[in-house]
Amino acid sequence: MTKEIMATDAFLGPVCDYVIAPVARYSATWGIPVLTAGAQANPFRHKTFNFHTLTRMMGSYTLVGEALRHILENYGWKVAGLLYHNHGKEGPLGNSICHFTMAAVYSALNETPVHRSFNQNTFTYNQIKELLQTVAKNSRIVVVCANPHTVREILLAAEELLMVDSGEYVFFNIELLNSMNNDSYTPWFNKNDTHERNERAKKAYTALLTVTAMTPENTEYEQFSKEVKELAEKNYNYSFGDDSVSTFITAFYDAVILYSLALNESIREGGSEVNGNDITRRMWNRTFKGITGDVHIDGNGDRFADYSLLDMNPETNRFEIVANYIGATRTLQTVKGKKIHWAADREHPPPDTPKCGFDGSLCQTMPEYAILSIILSTLVVIVIIVSVILFRHYKLEAEIASMTWKISIDELVFPNEKRGQGSIILNMGRRGSQLTVVSYGGISNYEGKQIFIRRAIYKGIQVAVKDVQKTRFEFNRSLLCEFKRMKDIHHDHLVRFYGACITPSMIMFITEYCPKGSLQDILENEQFKLDWMFKFSLMQDIVRGMLYIHNSEIRSHGNLKSSNCLVDARFVLKISDFGLHSLRAPKDLDPGDHAYWKRLLWTAPELLRMEENAPPEGTQKGDVYSFGIIVHEMLTRQGPFYIDDVNMSPRIDQNKDGGREIDG
C-alpha cells in the first residue's frame, strides 16, 4: 500500500460502474470507506466479499425497477416492452447505463414479452419505426431509455405509426442523469427542427410519462442550488443557466454529511478515525437530514432512492410532477391537484393487453378462423416435432463425438496388495495392478492354468479391467455408436459397461466387478451347494438379461457361456461380454490348443458349420442354444457334454454335424 493510500481516510466517487468496481474492491481490502453517487448496477449490491466498504448514495438500478413496477401495478399493468440504447459491451465503452437500468427493470417485471436494444449513435429513423412495430406486436406499455434527442425521435415515429392517436399506447421514459431544466420540462420542442415536426412531437409527448430522480422542493435546497451555481461560475467559469443542479451533486453533498456524522460518532465513542470498516458500519442502516431531505441508508449501505413521475400538462405543454415514489416506504404518492392526461383524451388508462389479444385470437368466432387456428397449431406441432427430432439427432451426434465412454488411464487406481489367497500382484508399469485369481478343477483350468480378473478403482468404486486383444482398429461412426449404446445400457442382469481405456499399447474395457466370480466357477466348486430354487433363480436371471439384449439394438450376444455369466455380491447373475463384437473377436488360436476347442462347446451347430464366416455377433437362435448348454451344466454340474478328457475336437465335430455320431 502506498503512502498516499495510507493517508486516505475515504473516497468520494467515482461514478462510472466500470471505474468504481476496482476502486471499491481495493478499498474493501484496505478498509477505506467509499461513498459514491454511481455503482448502481446490480452486482454492487453483493457486498459481503468484494464491496463491504461501499455506500451508494443514489440507490441502485434495482430500486428503479421496483419503482417502475409499483407505478405499473398502480394502473393495472403487468405487461411492458423495453426499448433502450446500448452501444454493446464488446466496444470500448462497455454496456450503457440504459442497459444496466433495463436489466433491473426486466428483473422487476414479472411479464416482459419483448425487449430490444439499439445504438442511438447509428440507428436511423426507419430502423426506429421497425423496432416500434416489433414491440407493438406484444406490448401496449413501452419503457424507453435513451438520450433526449433519441426519445423524441422514437415518439415522432410512434406518432407516424398512429400509436399516439389510438390512445392505446403509453410510453415511459427513464431519465436519471439529466437534471430537470427547461428542455426537460418541454422536451418535445427543438429550436433547430421545423414547426411541423415540433407540433407532431408535442402531440406525441402526450403519450409519454417520465420517471426521474426526485428533486426536493424546499428553501434549503433552493439556497444550496443557488450557492452551487455561484461557485461553479466563480471557480470554474461554468454557467448552469436555467438548468437545475444535478442530483449527482446533491448525492455527493449528502455523502459528506453522512461520513461526517459517522466519523464524529466514532470519535465520541472512542473509536479510531481511520477504522474504515467501523465508520462504514455506522453509516449503514441510518437516517439523517440531508440537503435533499430525509436520507435513508439501508442495512446493505444503499440509499432508499425516491423517484418522481412526470406528465405533460396539455394547457402549459410542460412536464409536471404528478406522483412521487418513496423508496423507504415503497409507496406511490400522488401530488394533490395533479393528474395524468392520457393520450387521445382518454379518461382512463388504456389496458396493457387488447380486448381481443395482440393477435385477435381471443375474439375469434368464425369457423374459418377456427380452421385456420387448427392449421396453424398443426404446423406448430409439426415444427416442434421436427425440431425435437433434429435436436435429438444433433444431441446424439454430439454425444457420440464427445466419447463420454472414454476413460483416461489416470482415472484408474490399481491398488497394490500382498500376495494372498485368491489374489496375486503383478507389476504393471508404474501403476501396478490387483488381480483376482479364479482357480478350480475341470476344463476351465486345464493343465493347471488360472484365470485372472484385473481390478481397479474408478470414481470410488471397484471395477473389472479386461484387456482387449485387438489393439488396432478404426474409430468410425459405427464403432462410436456401439460404444455409446454400451455406455447407456443399465439392467439388473447385465454387467454394466463404464467405458474403455485406450492407450497406444493396449485397450481395456472397464466394467462392473462381480466378486462372486462366474457361474462356471460356482458350478465347478463342489463345496458350493445349489438347491433347485437357487438354480431356477439363476436361470431366470439369464433369461431376463438375454431378453433385454435380444430386444435392444445389440440384438444378440454371440458368446454366451457359463464363464460369461457373473455373480455379484448379492448372488444376482449378470451377463457379461456382450456387444462391441468387432473388438471382442478372439485372437488367432492354434487348432491344436485346448482353448481353441473349449470356446466352441457353447456354439450352435449351424454357426460351427459356418466356420470362419460365422458372424461375430452370433444369432438369437444361437444364443438360445448356448442357454440350453448352460442349463445342462446347471442341472448336471459336470460341464458341457460331460467332457472330462482333454481331447475336445471329436465332440465339436459331432456338434458341427448336428449331433450325429462320427465314424472312426
* DSSP symbols for 227-267: HHHHHHHHHH----TTPPPPHHHHHHHHHHHHHHHHHHHHH
Please give the pLDDT value at position 526.
87
Please give the pLDDT value at position 497.
96
pLDDT digits 0-9 by tens, 210-228: 999 888 878 888 899 899 9
- Identify residue 274 by its one-letter amino acid code: V
Q: Cα(530)–Cα(521) distance, rounded to whole angstroms?
A: 13
- Tally DSSP H helices, then E strands, for the chain: 20, 22
| Burial (CB count within 10 angstroms: exposed 0-12, middle 13-18, buried 19+), residue 408 | exposed
Q: Cα(606)–Cα(611) distance, rounded to whole angstroms?
A: 9
Nearest to 306 by CA among 251, 373, 241, 234: 251
DSSP code for 585: P
- 0.85 surpassed by pTM: no
pLDDT digits 0-9 by tens, 229-278: 999 999 999 888 777 888 889 999 999 999 999 999 999 998 888 899 99
Q: Cα(286)–Cα(280) distance, rounded to whole angstroms?
A: 11
Structure-block grid coordinates of residue 176: 436519471
Phi-psi region of 29 (alpha: psi -120 to 50; beta: other; left: phi over 0): alpha
Q: Cα(19)–Cα(632) distance, rounded to whole angstroms?
A: 82
Sorted by sequence, the CB contacts under 8 Å of residue 478 that are 6+ apart come out as: none
pLDDT digits 0-9 by tens, 35-87: 999 899 888 988 887 899 999 999 899 999 999 999 999 999 999 999 999 97
Examine the pLDDT at 427 and tell me if it is beyond 50: no
Q: Cα(414)–Cα(455) distance, rounded to whole angstroms?
A: 7
CB atoms closer than 10 angstroms to residue 253: 18
Please give the pLDDT value at position 452.
60
Q: What is the 3-state secondary structure of 50-114?
A: CCCCEEECCCCHHHHHHHHHHHHHHCCCCECEEEEECCCCCCCCCCCHHHHHHHHHHHHCCECCC
3-state helix, strand, coil in the chain (%, to 5): 40, 20, 40
